[in-house]
Amino acid sequence: MAEKITAYRFERLDQTLSQLNKEDCAIMAGGTDVMVLHKSGRGVPPKIPKPIVFIDHLSELKRVYQNQKDLHIGACCTYSELLEEPCIPIPLKNAIKTIAAPAIRNRGTLGGNICNASPAGDTLPLLYVYNAKLLLRSVHGDRVVAISDFIQGPRRVGRNPNEILAEIILPSVVEEGSHVVFEKVGNRNADAIAKVSFAGYIRLNGTQIEEVRLCLGAVGPTMVRSIDIEKKLVGKTIPLADADIAQVVSAFDKIIKPIDDQRSTALYRKTVAINLIRYFLSMKQYQTN
């Protein structure tokens, strides 16, 4: 006889939060990671060890709006929906276009990518360089946490069982003069998990660097970003001297610790990661802006 599971699909977010406060449930947004994580043998339904609560349909989690210079993105917006949104930054759209194929993009959500906390999650390097903040909601209210504090390791996040990730906030995303780049290296342009990914952010005052942020994905247990390395570039003028670029490259070389797995080798990952840093720091496009 087929096993029974309990599943909840409330009409409103407050009802969902109230259930989560009473019972430890598995949250299911698009389900594209949950279903794979719990898959059983061929023809056997996935075994999810807790009651499931569906959140993908909740309108409160699907809003995209601008609040002054900040962009708020509902955690349950699917990738396909975000591609249709005019205010989503182009680099984020470019990253989304590299994710899986349309069927997965029609189900998978931005909030799911964050809460799944894969070292190869494609939106994560960009969200780190946008200094994304996450709005977590529970029956007790809201709290806001930086993405770099929320993601604690592979598939490990700082979420209390009664909380839902409600919004992703990109602060000052409409800032003038910043230049943001996303690069993913995989077997194909899309429908491939990243071997290495990279996001870079630079803001200039004339030829002087006011701020720079660099983040690598898939080269460690979680995203690799170093505020200390970034600070060394502030105040320098572009084009950067070879010695400055070499200093940054050597600092990253020390902190990235990629692994060998079915997708790539540690050596390939490290070489490509370093090349991506070098490429971004010597890019001509932002230098002529």
Ligand X SMILES: Cc1cc2nc3c(=O)[nH]c(=O)nc-3n(C[C@H](O)[C@H](O)[C@H](O)COP(=O)(O)OP(=O)(O)OC[C@H]3O[C@@H](n4cnc5c(N)ncnc54)[C@H](O)[C@@H]3O)c2cc1C
Retrieve residue 194's tokens.
């990243």
> Residue 138 interacts with ligand X (CB under 6 A)?
no
Residues 24-53 that bind ligand X (CB under 6 A): 26-34, 36
Out of 5, 52, 87, 104, the residue judged to bind ligand X by CB under 6 A: 104
Could you say which of 17, 60, 73, 116 contacts ligand X (CB under 6 A)? 116
Is 121 a binding residue for ligand X by CB under 6 A? The answer is yes
Among 58, 77, 91, 111, which residue interacts with ligand X (rule: CB under 6 A)? 111
The encoded tokens of residue 223 equal 């995203």
Nearer to ligand X, 111 or 258 (CB): 111
Of 20, 73, 81, 113, the residue at the interface with ligand X (CB under 6 A) is 113
- Residue 75 as a binder of ligand X (CB under 6 A): the answer is yes
How far is 100 from 189, CA to CA, in rounded Å?
10
| Shortest spacing between CB 282 and ligand X, in angstroms | 28
* In the complex, least distance from residue 154 CB atom to ligand X, rounded to whole angstroms: 12
Instruction: For tokens 């709006």, name the residue.
Output: 65
When binding is defined by CB under 6 A, the residue of 108, 125, 200, 258 that contacts ligand X is 108
What is the full DSSP assignment across 147-205?
HHHHEEETTEE---TT-EEEEEEETTTT-TTEEEEEEEESSSSSSS--SEEEEEEEEEE
- Closest distance of CB 174 from ligand X, Å: 24
- Answer for which of 132, 185, 193, 223 binds ligand X (CB under 6 A) is 193
**Residue in this structure with the two tokens 């320098």, named with its chain if needed:** 236
178-206 burial code (b ≥16 CB/10 A, e <16): bbbbbbbbbeeeeeebbbbbbbbbbbbee
3-state DSSP call for residue 111?
Answer: helix
> Nearest residue to ligand X, using CB?
112
Can you tell me which of 58, 82, 96, 99 binds ligand X, judged by CB under 6 A? Answer: 99
Q: Which is nearer to ligand X, 151 or 273 (CB)?
A: 151
- How is residue 109 annotated by DSSP? B
Alpha carbon distance 143, 113 (integer Å): 20
Which residue's structure tokens are 């009409």? 11
Residue position matching structure tokens 């209390």:
160
Count of chain residues binding ligand X (CB under 6 A): 30
Q: What are phi and psi of 203, to 5 degrees?
A: -125, 130
CB of 250 to ligand X, least distance (A): 29
Q: Closest separation between CB of residue 238 and ligand X, Å?
A: 31
Of 91 and 108, which has the nearer Cβ to ligand X?
Answer: 108
- In 3-state terms the chain splits into helix, strand, coil percentages (rounded to 5) of 30, 25, 45
Q: Closest distance between ligand X and the C-beta of residue 191, in Å?
A: 7
Binding range to ligand X, per CB under 6 A, among 65-73, 84-92, 116-124, 175-183: 116-124
Find the helix or strand (DSSP H, E) in which 91 lies: helix 90-97
Does 220 participate in binding ligand X (rule CB under 6 A)?
Answer: no
Binding residues vs ligand X (CB under 6 A): 26-34, 36, 55, 75-76, 99-100, 104, 107-109, 111-113, 115-116, 121-122, 159, 164-165, 193
